Amino acid sequence: MQDKLRVLILGDVVGQSGSRAIFLNLKNLKKSTNSDLVIVNGENITEGRGISPEDANTLFTCGVDIITTGNHIGQRKEIFPVLEKDSRLLRPENYPQAVPGTGHCIINYKDLNIGVLNLQGTVNLDNLYCPFKTARDTVEKLQHKTNIIIIDFHAEWPEEKEALALYLDGKVSALVGTHTHVQTADERILPGGTAYITDIGMTGPADSIIGMQRNTALKKSITMMPLKMEVADGQADIMGVVIEINPANGKAVSIQRIFEKSKM
């Protein structure tokens, strides 16, 4: 068994700017961080809302191993057949069972099995099944097959994210937050050996308001009118984390934030 596993996790890919950033930078970023596995949240890649089959295929072709999503996964019905067929594309596990796809998978890397779980928060978001109970039950199932478990918790509220991380501390290797598109500076290893950060940020247009055209976003905030938000373009920021895990016990050894400017 290898003595360490390094996982690169990138935040919500927003629009064509974010897609280009992955295309132009992922290979070198994976090499420079010495990462073995790449997980990317892709729920905003297609015009800022949802993910199309074409954009999912682009991410996989670029070297992404697992795509996680969140509250926009249902925006594009054409992705449903892909969710059913390709276990590398996840939707939140705590969605109703009738929703296509699954929220967890096990990927094999060399001689290691790695469990990945996608969850969505309920504070200021949809009223889904309890993420705490869903996480507990799914983690128990995954533990029969692996001690390396990584969670993308797509949630709005920092308290909910931190609470779930502490609830699962020592039972999972890492829990990273996504959804707000704003990278936080609270990355750390919890007492039980779980790596945690409240939000890993976004991979998308730097000259924007959380990935959207800033003039429209500003006008919407000032006037309170229901203006349609459009995805911004231009040079992208690449945000995420690299987590090192000890495969022998599944505990996180380190977590490091990534914040880089994309090549054009």
List the catalytic residues. 72
Contact 230, 212 (CB under 8 A): yes
Which segments of 2-120 does DSSP mark as H helices, in order? Answer: 15-32, 53-62, 80-85
Query: What gap in Å lies between CA 183 and CA 153, rounded to an integer?
Result: 14
Q: What is the residue whose two structure tokens read 């977590």? A: 255
Query: What gap in Å lies between CA 107 and CA 205, rounded to an integer?
Result: 30
Query: What gap in Å lies between CA 178 and CA 240, rounded to an integer?
Result: 10
Enumerate residues 6+ apart whose C-beta is below 8 A from 264: 24, 235
Q: Is 19 left (phi over 0), alpha (psi -120 to 50) or beta?
A: alpha
The maximal CA–CA distance of the chain, rounded, in angstroms, is: 59
